[in-house]
Amino acid sequence: MREAVIVEGVRTPIGKNNGLLSGIRAEELAAKPLREVVRRAGISPELVEDVIMGCVDQVGEQASNIARMALLIADYPIEVPGTTIDRQCGSSQQAIHFAAQAIISGDMDIVVAAGVESMSRVPMWSNRIGVTPNEVLTSKYEIISQGLSAERIAEKWEISRQEMDEYSLKSHQKAINARNEGRFDKEIMPVEVYLPDGTKTVVTQDEGPREKTSLKKLSLLKPSFKEDGKITAGSSSQISDGAAAVLLMSREKAVELGLKPRFRIIGRSVIGADPTLMLTGVIPATKKVLKKAGLSIQDIDIFEVSEAFASVPLAWLKEFSVDTDKLNPNGGAISLGHPLGESGTRLMITMMNELERTGGRYGLQTMCEANGMANATIIERLT
């Protein structure tokens, strides 16, 4: 059976809302890791058979198939096609799945899976302006905001405000420690930007982690979604800008090109879940992908579980009871940020580098998604 392997992965730094990356058009931001990922691998972009890019708010600069526009900006030949997909926050993780499926089926040998979201330039829900939930849908399901879903998850799994504040603080501490130790240096490409005064600077680090936050500061934040709620801005993922790309190949093609595969994809799952609770799909998706890969939860060395809100990984943790040091060891969306369409590839790239740093064998990534869905992926380190 053919295998889909990962040869390379790279991402931009993650910029804060209206931060250092906000002056870059979304298509140009997406083009940067597309250009860099093939450069790092040492292959010509003409060998790429497709670019599959995740992007959630496909409007404005992110409309009209941003994958195709970005690859042309990145100087890929005109013969290389591109497509843009939306599986909400798991969009670029799904891009990895589609790329792997194309390779395993024999349709293609080399595919780039990528993701982008410039939330500063294309605000969240821009593609839903003026649209209310369909009455046929709301007659069948209670449709609420993700923040209220996160509140209900906290209630169902009996997660306290203090637990979520403590988790959020830990996310920042992990991210700052990882940054200070240089753990992100390999995966982040420097990005040159113009400042408001016209001068140039080079961005090499994520803007999101807050060194001065504390449990006391987090505890003073007001609830964001309901008056007596537990979820605050501090326990929610950050609005951010970023782009990432992952280069996948068949193992045979990698060997033919003299490239050393870093990982192989050994399990993929995608599930639907309760559209009201919405963000709990990471739990059944994890169970499904473990079963498909023939592994147990104890076999996994690193877990990347999306930090849409602190209640999501905490509920997941209560279901699986894994070593907390294995969960999001370098922080997550609460500290690093969450450019919606980019996050799936970002989690994958960070997990790859952490497995290589620690010598772990298996990594499991899972993303919760709006309207009640989730993806999960298991990779195995080969080098």
Task: List, for residues 283-301, the tens digit of each pLDDT value.
Answer: 999 999 999 999 999 999 9
Q: pTM value?
A: 0.98
Task: Give the span between the Cα atoms of 212 and 217, in whole angstroms.
Answer: 9
pLDDT of residue 10: 99
Q: From residue 103, how far is each of 50, 78, 230, 340 by CA, in Å?
A: 11, 21, 44, 25
pLDDT of residue 89: 98
Taking only the tens place, the pLDDT of each residue in 46-58 is 999 999 999 999 9
pLDDT of residue 184: 98
Taking only the tens place, the pLDDT of each residue in 304-346 is 999 999 999 999 999 998 999 999 999 999 999 999 999 999 9
Task: Give the span between the Cα atoms of 93 and 365, in whole angstroms.
Answer: 9
Closest CA to 316 of 300, 336, 340, 292: 300
Residue 60 contacts by C-beta under 8 Å, 6 or more apart in sequence?
26, 121, 122, 126
Q: Are 96 and 126 in contact (CB under 8 A)?
A: no
pLDDT of residue 58: 98
Q: Are 87 and 94 in contact (CB under 8 A)?
A: yes
Taking only the tens place, the pLDDT of each residue in 73-93 is 999 999 999 999 999 999 999
Residue 203: band (very low, low, confident or very high) from pLDDT cuts 50, 70, 90:
very high
The helix-helix angle for 311-320 and 161-180 (nearest 10°) equals: 100
Helix (H) or strand (E) holding 177: helix 161-180
pLDDT of residue 14: 98
Residue 138: band (very low, low, confident or very high) from pLDDT cuts 50, 70, 90:
very high
pLDDT of residue 1: 84
pLDDT of residue 182: 98
pLDDT of residue 313: 98
pLDDT of residue 383: 87
- Indicate whether 196 pLDDT > 90: no
With tokens 């100087």, the residue in question is 75
Share of the chain above pLDDT 90, in %: 98
- Indicate whether 4 pLDDT > 90: yes
Q: Burial letters for 358-381: b for 16+ Cβ neighbours within 10 Å, e otherwise?
A: eebebbbbbbbbbbbbbbbbbbbb
pLDDT of residue 36: 98
Q: Are 280 and 31 in contact (CB under 8 A)?
A: no
Helix (H) or strand (E) holding 36: helix 26-41
Residue 146: band (very low, low, confident or very high) from pLDDT cuts 50, 70, 90:
very high
Residues acting as catalytic residues? 89, 338, 368
Q: What is the mean pLDDT of the chain?
A: 98
Pairing verdict, β 110-118 and 50-54? parallel
pLDDT of residue 321: 87
C-alpha 167 chain-centroid distance: 19
Task: Give the span between the Cα atoms of 154 and 223, in whole angstroms.
Answer: 13
The helix-helix angle for 26-41 and 66-73 (nearest 10°) equals: 60
DSSP of 53-94, one letter per residue? EE-S--SGGGTTTHHHHHHHHTT--TT--EEEE-BTBTHHHH
Q: Burial letters for 226-255: b for 16+ Cβ neighbours within 10 Å, e otherwise?
A: eeebbbbebbbbbbbbbbbbbbbbbbebbe
Taking only the tens place, the pLDDT of each residue in 227-244 is 999 999 999 999 999 999
Task: Give the span between the Cα atoms of 262 and 383, in whole angstroms.
Answer: 6
